[in-house]
Amino acid sequence: RNCPKISCLTLPGGQNLAMFNLPESLWVDTAGNIFETTDAMKTDNKARSEGAETYVMPTTTEGWERSGTCEWMVDSAGKLTVRPLPNMERGKLGRWNLGWVPWMNHLTSITSVYIEPNVVADYCGYMFYNCKNLVSVDISNLETAQAQDLSFMFGNCEKLTSIDLSSLDTANATNLSGMFYNCLSLTSLDASGLSTAKATNLASMFQGCNSLTLLVDKLPHLLSTNLLVGVLFRVVVVFFCGICAL
């Protein structure tokens, strides 16, 4: 109690974090798991360590904002950068409701996006929705293996002309609805790594993408579900032996 500057705590197994009256409501263990230390957590088993654990209070770089165990900033040039917190090897973005993303108040200012290595997201719905001035995206480092909802991820990104999603892991994604909704200027999309194996909702995935060319080297897998029936877009498939336009 009354130790406001404590930043690291090692506990024996079975201890409840809430009982220590820690100065912050959010602490993280060495595995990156987030623990709330509010009164409501006093009976929550998630707040108890099974073995000796070290907990670190998240710190944020000056001028940056925090989301989960990541921090983000939109600079004067409109570049959105997301990275793990300074004292974390890996960072996990906090979850948001629908379009209420952490950078909600900067949507029209964002012109480019860069995700640094070791950033994890288990929810990507509406991540860049309504970033109407976004023209460049680099999310090749974003780890989405556990993400199930990527709906409207790039919805209404009206100025975005190309997206490289070759490294995006959607193996567990079930909702890809509206993912590229109303991307009016999108002409090039590398979806060679995109999987719809578990997808149950692809409604309006490409609605409004009137100029879209989909580049993919795994067409049979991508079309292994009939959920794409009715989606109106032109597909150009690049094979090693040539180009076939469907």
Convert the pLDDT of each residue in 2-37 to its tens digit.
Answer: 566 666 666 666 566 656 665 555 666 655 666 655
Q: What pLDDT sits at residue 164?
A: 92
pLDDT surpasses 70 at 114: yes
Q: 216, 217, 154, 223: which is closest to 186 by C-alpha?
A: 154
Q: What is the arrangement of strands in the sheet containing 142-143, beginning at the earlier edge strand?
A: 91-92, 119-120, 142-143
Burial class from Cβ neighbours inside 10 Å (0-12, 13-18, 19+) for residue 219 reads middle
Q: What pTM, to 2 d.p., does this model score?
A: 0.75
196 compared with 44, residue with greater pLDDT: 196
pLDDT surpasses 50 at 64: yes
**Are 103 and 96 a contacting pair, CB within 8 Å?**
no
pLDDT, mean over the chain: 78
- Tell me the residue ranges of DSSP E strands in 37-118: 53-56, 65-67, 70-74, 79-84, 91-92, 112-115
Q: What pLDDT sits at residue 46?
A: 47
Report percent pLDDT > 90 for the chain.
49
pLDDT digits (tens, 9 = 90+) for 133-143: 999 999 999 99
**Are 237 and 213 a contacting pair, CB within 8 Å?**
no
Q: 88, 85, 72, 77: which is closest to 32 by C-alpha?
A: 88
**Are 220 and 196 a contacting pair, CB within 8 Å?**
no
* Of the candidate ranges 22-36, 76-90, 113-127, 224-238, the one whose mean pLDDT is the lowest: 224-238
Cα–Cα distance, 209 to 182 (Å, whole number): 6
**Are 181 and 157 a contacting pair, CB within 8 Å?**
no
Q: What pLDDT sits at residue 104?
A: 95
Q: What pLDDT sits at residue 69?
A: 86
Lookup: tokens for 176: 């890809």
192 compared with 94, residue with greater pLDDT: 94
pLDDT surpasses 90 at 154: yes
Q: What pLDDT sits at residue 191?
A: 83
Q: What pLDDT sits at residue 15?
A: 61
Q: 160, 115, 156: which is closest to 136 by C-alpha?
A: 160
**Are 66 and 85 a contacting pair, CB within 8 Å?**
yes
Coil, strand or helix at 40: helix
Q: What pLDDT sits at residue 68?
A: 86
Cα–Cα distance, 135 to 188 (Å, whole number): 12
Coil, strand or helix at 219: helix
Cβ-based neighbour number of residue 244 at 10 Å: 11
